[in-house]
Amino acid sequence: AAGVRLNAALECSSYTQVALAVRSGRYAGFLPEFAKPYLGGGEPVIRRALESALAYQRGVVLAWREAGVKARPFLAEVFEGLERGLGRRL
């Protein structure tokens, strides 16, 4: 956004880590509603719903190692089902 500069000071790999950072009072973060229990009670946390105009979306990535697939033949059926559901090859 114009006039806004991001100052990313912490990178988290889970919602729990984000919640703990927010609870420390030193960071702000975006969390889904289901992460609310990790914020604890009585903490100085401000909760705001995302504006619908932000059109927040989350992408999903499927990654695998070919060696892992070869060791687990049943995964071929899983991938076939995903391909049918998605309508394209993986």
Selection from 26, 31, 36 nearest residue 14 by Cα: 31
At 60 the three-state DSSP class reads coil
CB 82: neighbour CB atoms within 10 A?
A: 13
- Quick: pLDDT tens for 38-51: 877 765 566 677 67
- Whether 67 is in a domain gets the answer yes
Domain residue limits at 5: 1-46
Residue indicated by tokens 């919640």 = 19
pLDDT class of 34 with cuts at 50, 70, 90: confident
How large is the average pLDDT for residues 70-90? 85
Same domain, 1 and 30: yes
Share above pLDDT 70 across residues of the chain, in percent, rounded to a whole number: 77
Q: Would you say residue 52 lies in a domain?
A: no
Whether residue 18 lies inside any domain: the answer is: yes
Quote the number of domains for the chain: 2
- In terms of domains, do 31 and 7 share one? yes
Please check whether residue 51 lies inside any domain of the structure: no
